[in-house]
Chain A
Amino acid sequence: MDYFLELFLGGLTRGSIYALIALGYTMVYGIIELINFAHGEIYMIGAFTALIVISVLTLMGMNTIAMLVIAGVIAVIYSAAYGYTVEKIAYKPLRNAPRLSALISAIGMSLFLQNYVLLAQTSDFLPFPNLVPEFEFMEPYAHIIGSTEIVILITTAIVMVLLTLLIKFTNIGKAMRAASQDKTMSMLVGINVDRVISVTFVVGSATAAIGGVLIASHVGMINFYVGFIAGIKAFVAAVLGGIGSIPGAVLGSFILGWTESFATGYVSSDYEDVFAFLFLVLILIFRPAGILGRSEKHKV
């Protein structure tokens, strides 16, 4: 039973990380109907920035909690800046081009960012310090769930609540929902759609950066390639839940997290990545719109 519980909570942690990345995918897709392939790379850049900031702060001799907060904030700022710039360079000039063009441009951006970090930093795995202290009240449960995992779960929950509030109740959230329904119409009623798209990229990138810092701290090492697979899996999660739907992305992420956790725990860990892809193929065959997505009619 303990093993089951461990896998269950492990899946939950995994799922919440996927959810933080998947939210960015789903928000961007909801508005401009484009898979932002570079999203995983933004997550990786967030983690790298945090690592660099932590190393510099360690030399200056700062304590861990303050370091975690500062590194997290800087990582979020930089990821958001990267997300904004990527959109301006690679997607904005292609707003009216065929979808295939934008998709290829996104793949190019992803390739570029990976190699940019590879060349400017290193291709080796870098150790990432675990900044979350061991909580004392967690002692009796330490064999099932660690302190880092608790922090991940709580942070994810907070981010999701904030994001829901942003989209439901603020002006920019309303503008986002309007733009995702009909871009031309929302322009007619005075919404600056370009700005809405920029804000969406910034918010999505910021949540990805939070995910990046948390999982790097949990896993304990990063390199330039971590963003790619994480990005693909988060995309699988977003599709699973129904792309464009925010609760769907969260649900899909948890389902994917549990599937992977149980499959690696009970079947075999060699094929960890295969499960995610097989799952995706099965979902797309039987329910292409995802669990909470609505299927759209397409017109000529």
Chain B
Amino acid sequence: MITFDQIKKAILVSVWFMFLTFPIMVIRVNPVECVVEWRWMNMLLIGVGSFLLSFVWHYFIRRKELGTQKAEGGGAETIPLAQRILSKKAIYRPTLAVLGICALIFPFIFSLYQTNIMVTALIYVMLGLGLNIVVGLAGLLDLGYVAFYAVGAYAYALLNYHFGLSFWMVLPIGAALGATFGILLGFPVLRLRGDYLAIVTLGFGEIIRIILENWNEFSFGPSGIANIPRPSLFGIDLSLHAATIYIYYIMIGLCLFTIFVVNRLQDSRIGRAWIALREDEIACQAMGIDKAKTKLTAFSLGATWAGMSGVVFAAKTTFVNPASFTIWESIIILCIVVLGGMGSILGVIAGALVLILMPEYLRAFSEYRMLAFGVLLVVMMVFRPGGLIPNVRRTYKFEGVTETKKG
């Protein structure tokens, strides 16, 4: 029920926001021509909008508080829907088969344009899964992830330009270079905690971009490198259409490979060490886990995927320049991981598909994309820090064991 108190609160909120957004939303100046434009309509919108949003916000905050109380009271832990479906083989096997067939025939049903968008989305799936290792599993907030992506893309562009190496030769080289740069970044930041790490990695990403922009002899500066060949099939050069379909299948293959490896890594000794590191660094060291080694492997294994997807990106667009590798790219990838659910492979895939495909089909709202991403990050963290499809902790259950009193 909405009480009088809540209405009073909502009115206060809306008045406050009308005051707050007054200069920026209502007045628009043109200092060159000395014209001031008054947009009173916006003020009305803000007032009504914040009045309504205030109810929604408080409703969810209350629900969240109730939820935590319930959890503290020892209520049964509910398993998320996605995980319940996954645990039933009868449901998830046919679903997987249908999805697999859909993915296989996709390029033959839809147009070239759609296939291209799908390739982009798959590249982001791979980037998301890579960053998921660093942020989701090891808990190291990396804001310079795009640097490794740039390393991969430039590796293909430059090696092809100077030495004529083919796509398939550069793919492992790109992965190796990504891993090397991951270690290179990892060393200085070994001792840093969360926030410092975020800033240093951000700086690292920017350094790589600024170097690419300014070192003309090496990277051809802001104009970038054009005419990068698309991958060829056994030495046959394909037409544009065929090449796109070919890249699509390469990406499907690479994504499956990534999912397989990340899934295996997650349950391995090193994967469990990452999770322990995320939960508590000091306790983790006390348990005899080598902190330096664990962090470095997280950085380098995370960067490997970015290096590989960078190579595919260069082959897909046939053109690279530093403008494709700004800090915002890193933040979009972070959004993917956060939206999907940190540490959850299924979540990250869903997150990438939603975040990359949705703006493509909602072109009319494309200018609001980054605004929405910002809101998304805050709202997800406040209300659903686990993401859309949260990761489920591996737990051992003692079922059918009755407790015996100790004598």
Contact = CB atoms under 8 A, between A and B. Distances in A.
A112 B200 contact: no
A278 interface: yes
Contact of B61 (A82, A93, A236, A285): A93
A264 interface: no
A78 B19 CA distance: 9
Interface string A77-97: 010011001000110011001
B23 A52 contact: yes
A288 interface: yes
A111 B381 contact: no
A117 B194 contact: no
Contact of A274 (B36, B194, B210, B328): B210
Given A111-B377, A298-B282, A300-B280, A285 B188 contact: yes
B191 A288 contact: yes
B29 interface: yes
A105 B378 contact: yes
A104 interface: yes
A35 B195 contact: yes
B: interface residue count bin = 35 or more
A112 to B, nearest CB: 3
B142 to A, nearest CB: 11
Contacts of B371: 111-112, 115-116, 119
A274 B213 CA distance: 12
Contacts of A270: 210, 214
B210 A108 contact: no
A269 B217 CA distance: 17
Do most interface residues of chain A lie in helix, strand or loop, or is the interface mixed? helix
Chain B CB within 10 A, most for which of A45, A112, A126: A112
Nearest to B28: A121
Contacts, number: 174
Contact of A94 (B19, B194, B382): B382
B139 interface: yes
A120 B141 contact: no
Given A94-B382, A127-B31, A277-B206, A120 B25 contact: yes
A140 B334 CA distance: 54
B47 to A, nearest CB: 15
A102 interface: yes
A111 B385 contact: no
Contacts of A273: 206, 210
Given A99-B194, A121-B28, A300-B282, A284 B378 contact: no
A108 B31 contact: no
Nearest to B140: A100
Contact of A99 (B32, B195, B377): B195
Interface string B1-32: 00000000000000010011101110111011
Contacts of A164: none
Given A56-B29, A111-B331, A34 B195 contact: yes
A239 interface: yes
Contacts of A82: 20
Interface string A149-170: 0000000000000000000000
Interface string B364-402: 000110110111111001100100000000000000000
A99 B32 CA distance: 45
Nearest to B381: A105
Interface residues of A, number: 70
A199 B31 CA distance: 34
Contact of B32 (A48, A51, A110, A127): A127
Contacts of B374: 108-115
B377 A108 contact: yes
Interface string A109-140: 11111111101111000111100000000000
Chain B CB within 10 A, most for which of A34, A48, A55: A55
Contacts of A114: 370, 374
B26 to A, nearest CB: 9
B155 to A, nearest CB: 21
Nearest to A288: B191
Contacts of A122: 28
The 8 closest A-B pairs by CB, nearest first: A108-B377, A112-B374, A277-B203, A111-B374, A55-B29, A115-B371, A105-B381, A108-B378
Interface of A: 29, 33-35, 45, 48-49, 51-53, 55-56, 58-59, 74, 78, 81-82, 85, 89-90, 93-94, 97-105, 107-117, 119-122, 126-129, 232, 235-236, 239, 270-271, 273-274, 276-278, 280-281, 284-285, 288, 298-300
7 contacts: A52-B24, A59-B36, A100-B141, A111-B331, A111-B370, A274-B207, A281-B188
